[in-house]
Structure 1
Amino acid sequence: MSIPAAPVEVPDRVRDLAGDARLEPVWANDIGGLTFRASPATGHPFYVKWGPRNDECNVRDEAERMRWAGRWIRVPEVIDQGQDATHEWLVTRAIDGDSAVHPRWVARPEIAVRAVGEGLRALHDALPVDDCPWDWAVESRIANAERRGIRVPERFHDAPPIDRLVVCHADACCPNTLIGDDGRWLAHVDLGLLGVGDRWGDIAVASMSTEWNYGPGWEDALIEAYGLEPDRERLAYYRELWNAT
């Protein structure tokens, strides 16, 4: 997953959704999905997320989760969502901030990592577990993987005891935190798997992703910004589970 460095062909559906707005590709994922920023001549900018239909999660579920989570935390406002036989799309109102892996923040990892850690803690503290209708516990994650034909080793069924149940982001990699001009976390994006689980499921992935995005040495800084000491057992388990599913 990365910010496109070369010109990107705009899919017809994206062009239709954007109308006469100027399109800028801002993200490409590993399965052929693209995200564009659309800037109309008048009116508010918006984003169009488009890609092949995905067995793990879909934009219909993401839109539903964003509308729910937006009652307590800042997430993009959903404008439109749809799908056809092969692809799906999501249109959201732009938020005036940049991904934590925008070049300006990759150049300042000490600021970005702190923002991601603090933003993740804020999400966990704000979203009400008892009101959340979705699950991201170990058993659900394994079942989701197995429905997609992934054989998950038996050892993953023996998870560490729950530390604290929260509503997890479920894809808490650094790119999914938006940062404002002041260097603080601003909002969260890509909530298609959001659900209740142990907070270390998110912390493990967020801290692991610092190496992918900023280089080695920032994992514990993110956990410190979250407000905890590293739990090596839970970190190891949930990182392996992420990679296995």
Structure 2
Amino acid sequence: MDRRNDAAERLLPTGTEWTPVRWGESGDRVFRRNGGGAYAKISSGKGAVLLDNERSRTEWLAAFSIGSPTVLDWIASEEGACLVTSAVPGVPASDLSAPDLRLAWPSMVRQLKLLHDLPAGGCPFHRRLETMFHRAADVVARDAVNPDFLDPEFQDTPPSKLLADLRRELPQRLTEESRDLVICHGDACLPNFMVDPETHNCTGLIDLGRLGTADRYVDFSLLLGSARESWVRPDDAQIARDRLFDIHGISAPDLGRLAFYLRLDPLTWG
């Protein structure tokens, strides 16, 4: 038996059966409760600290009832930690076909706006640019950047060069952030938007470990970037971008901010 599986199963709540779902990109182990209704995410080492961060953010956001999981159980031991949350109905937007994603897109964008419209001053969590840039510098210094996370255009560029280019923009982006802080998801990629495949309505957001106040373009860049490979018609990407900014009431999108955060995010994982 895989020892990782054995350790993970010891952390699962007893009295019910669980089915392994996947290993997450972060190394977390995910299980689904038989019969549905709940998921368990298990992590160890430094990952257990990050999972505790996700627990506190999930608990906080659930109080606003805008479509997110609730915390059902939290188990911590020397072996690691287990976070059990309610299941948000639907399928990940990443599982949708291009035609279905086009139909679901407006509802997904409105779901994101619900989050951004919450009072940022009341959020106890922060994902400020200065902190994320320091994290990127650390990941680059440790040579821990995953090249698969990089935009294909930059996969042959040394991460140190990418970081240096971003550093030159940093003062301008910090000024912009100070004028436009909202509560961001922080990892607003297609797999974290749940969608009813029949109605194409977005039912909620999951995986909230990076939630916190930040520049709204953090979420815009990741949502648009993660959807690029899903589109098949030549004008799909442009239509999706226009719809996003129209729904969010932005008449003059800042494409420079979009590009900045899309380049920064891959350097912060590692």
TM-score, scaled to structure 2: 0.73
Distance 2:114 2:46 in 1: 29
Contact 2:140/2:267 (8 A) holds in 1: no
CA distance in 1 between counterparts of 2:8 and 2:47 reads 21
Distance 1:136 1:34, change over 3 A: same
Matched, 1:15 2:9: yes
1:207 is paired with a residue whose SS is helix
Where does the alignment leave 5 or more consecutive residues of structure 1 unmatched?
A: 1-7
Alignment match of 2:54 (pick from 52, 62, 77): 62
Superposition RMSD in Å: 3.0
Pairs within 5 Å for 1:136-215: 136-146=127-137, 150=141, 152-153=163-164, 154-160=167-173, 161-162=176-177, 164-180=180-196, 181-214=198-231
Show the 5 A alignment for 1:39-118: 39-40=34-35, 45-54=37-46, 58-72=50-64, 73-85=66-78, 87-102=80-95, 104-105=96-97, 108-118=100-110
The answer to which structure has the higher helix fraction is 2
Aligned residues: 232
1:102-151 C-alpha deviation (Å, 9 max, x unpaired): 3x4566221243333222112111x2211111211211212333455647
Q: Which residue, out of 6, 28, 32, partners 2:27?
A: 32
The verdict on how the C-alpha distance between 1:242 and 1:38 changes in structure 2, with shifts beyond 3 A counting, is: same
Q: Distance in 2 between matches of 1:185 and 1:131?
A: 25
Greater RCO (Cα-Cα under 8 Å, separation 6 or more):
2
Q: Distance in 1 between matches of 2:28 and 2:63?
A: 28
What is the DSSP-based 3-state SS (H/G/I as helix, E as strand, rest coil) of the residue aligned with 1:110?
helix
C-alpha distance in 1 between matches for 2:199 and 2:92: 13
Deviation at residue 80 of structure 1 after TM alignment: 1.9
Q: Which amino acid aligns with 1:143?
A: H
